């Protein structure tokens, strides 16, 4: 039963409609009269980097058929805020997103329009497995990669100034991470082109080197860092020690449950929205040996803090790594990123996933909140979803 007749507005792609969509719309409808803005084919292709499986007119027709929906239409704009003009015209009381649809730009838009903003944690009915459009489309168990500290040291133009480690975590694909978000999505796509929906059996170093070569064929103007390939293929938490070359001199892994649970318990992700297609933090880099030394030291401290399971030192090391990154690459932090960071004054530490400019804000905290995504670290015996 709906608790009011307030006007409620939601937006989304709704490609390959599934139980997660239905549950979200049912939950949103309890707050009032529900209007749904459905992303156009053009918008989805631009944001996702692929065309939708189901075309826009069929998607909006299916959304209209859901009994919880009072009104649905195709968004008139494009980009992340493709619904902006429609939202202004509709003038709802409340705008609702799920946890992976939250972004600073949406929050700011609602604040500018004096519309209440609410984040619903994604959930499914009891007994129904969590599902996403990506899982339906690809049925892929290829993991994602998150760097916790030392980002940029996997590039020779950084680590040749001073050697140091990068600390990465391999994540189960329990969440549909955005492209261009710092989660190793381009390398993950290369892995799927190479192997299909499963990582190959065999030594992880062999697979990681194969993936690295596949993503960086001869003639590439830019060589992607090897931490992406290694972070995807190696399970658990890994330390990769670089010294002026593309491949690390050593790879050290931690897969014991105590370490994995420690990282899972205190590390959450906040969606920021994908970075701009022309984003390039390297063009304004201010590289110094002392700056790279600070980055290296912070990453080494992060690895040790995880080994000791010391939350205070872990949070401080992640924060120091981020501070060192931004000192070297100032454009990692955009105005939107600054606005997101300001919303978490109680965070023990934070950084940006990948090269920044958007994607996800990594927040170290004692407890998760409704607007955050909890990590699921890939175990060494990971077999994927049934």
Q: Which two tokens stand for residue 222?
A: 């830019």
Per-residue pLDDT of the chain (386 residues; tens, 9 = 90+): 455 679 999 998 888 777 788 889 999 999 999 999 999 988 887 777 667 777 888 889 999 999 999 999 999 998 889 999 999 999 999 999 987 788 888 999 999 999 999 998 766 555 555 555 555 444 578 899 999 999 999 999 999 999 999 999 999 887 778 888 899 998 998 998 899 888 988 899 999 999 999 999 888 888 888 999 999 999 999 999 999 999 999 999 999 999 999 999 999 999 888 888 788 999 999 999 999 999 999 999 999 999 999 999 999 999 999 999 999 999 999 988 998 899 888 899 999 999 999 899 999 998 776 667 888 899 875 444 33
**Which pTM was predicted?**
0.70
Q: Are 164 and 295 in contact (CB under 8 A)?
A: yes
- Tell me how far apart the alpha carbons of residues 207 and 167 are, in angstroms, rounded to a whole number: 19
Q: Which two tokens stand for residue 181?
A: 């978000």
Please give the distance of CA 94 from its chain centroid, rounded to a whole number: 25
Contacts of 351 (CB under 8 A, 6+ apart): 148, 149, 318, 319, 321, 322, 325, 361, 362
- pLDDT for 198 equals 86
- pLDDT for 1 equals 47
CATH of 7-134, picked from 3.40.50.10860, 3.90.1150.10, 3.40.50.620, 1.10.10.10, is 3.40.50.620
> Degrees (nearest 5) of the Cα angle 172, 174, 177?
95
Q: Do domains 7-134 and 140-374 have the same CATH topology?
A: no
- pLDDT for 333 equals 94
Third-level CATH fold of 140-374? Ribosomal Protein S5; domain 2 (3.30.230)
- Tell me how far apart the alpha carbons of residues 108 and 243 are, in angstroms, rounded to a whole number: 42
Q: Are 123 and 23 in contact (CB under 8 A)?
A: yes
How is the chain split into domains, by residue range?
7-134, 140-374
- Tell me how far apart the alpha carbons of residues 224 and 204 are, in angstroms, rounded to a whole number: 18
- pLDDT for 282 equals 92
Contacts of 142 (CB under 8 A, 6+ apart): 173, 188, 191, 192, 195, 197, 198, 199, 232
């Amino acid at each position: 039963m709906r608790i009011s007749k307030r006007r409620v507005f939601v937006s989304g792609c709704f490609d390959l409609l599934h139980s997660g969509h239905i549950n979200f719309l049912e939950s949103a409808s309890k707050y009032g009269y529900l209007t749904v803005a459905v992303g156009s084919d053009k918008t989805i292709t631009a944001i996702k980097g692929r065309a939708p499986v189901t075309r826009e007119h069929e998607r909006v027709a299916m959304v209209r058929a859901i009994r919880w929906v009072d009104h649905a239409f195709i968004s008139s704009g494009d980009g992340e805020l493709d619904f902006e003009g429609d939202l202004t015209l509709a003038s709802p009381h409340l705008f609702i997103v799920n946890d992976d649809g939250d972004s600073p730009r949406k929050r700011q838009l609602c604040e500018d329009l004096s519309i209440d903003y609410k984040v619903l944690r994604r959930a499914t009915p009891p007994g129904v497995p969590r599902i996403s459009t990506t899982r339906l489309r690809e049925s892929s168990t290829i993991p994602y990669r998150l760097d916790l500290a030392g980002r940029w040291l996997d590039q020779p133009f950084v680590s040749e100034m001073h050697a140091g480690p990068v600390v990465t975590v391999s994540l189960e694909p329990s969440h549909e991470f955005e492209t261009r978000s710092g989660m190793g999505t381009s390398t993950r796509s290369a892995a799927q082109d190479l192997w299909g929906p499963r990582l190959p059996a065999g030594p992880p170093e062999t697979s990681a080197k194969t993936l690295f070569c596949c993503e960086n064929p001869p003639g590439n103007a830019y060589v992607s860092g090897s931490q992406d390939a290694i972070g995807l293929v190696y399970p658990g938490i890994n330390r990769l020690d670089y010294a002026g070359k593309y491949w690390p001199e050593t790879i050290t892994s931690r897969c014991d449950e105590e370490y994995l649970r420690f990282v899972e318990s205190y590390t959450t992700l906040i969606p920021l929205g994908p970075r701009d297609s022309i984003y390039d933090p390297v063009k304004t880099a201010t590289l110094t040996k002392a700056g790279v030394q600070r980055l290296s030291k912070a990453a080494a401290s992060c690895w040790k803090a995880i080994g000791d399971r010391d939350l205070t030192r872990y949070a401080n090391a992640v924060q120091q790594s981020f501070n060192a990154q931004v000192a070297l690459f100032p454009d990692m932090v955009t105005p939107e990123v600054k606005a997101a960071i300001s919303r978490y004054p109680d965070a023990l530490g934070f950084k940006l996933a990948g090269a920044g400019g958007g994607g996800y804000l990594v927040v170290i905290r004692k407890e998760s909140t409704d607007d955050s995504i909890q990590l699921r670290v890939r175990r060494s015996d990971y077999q994927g979803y049934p």
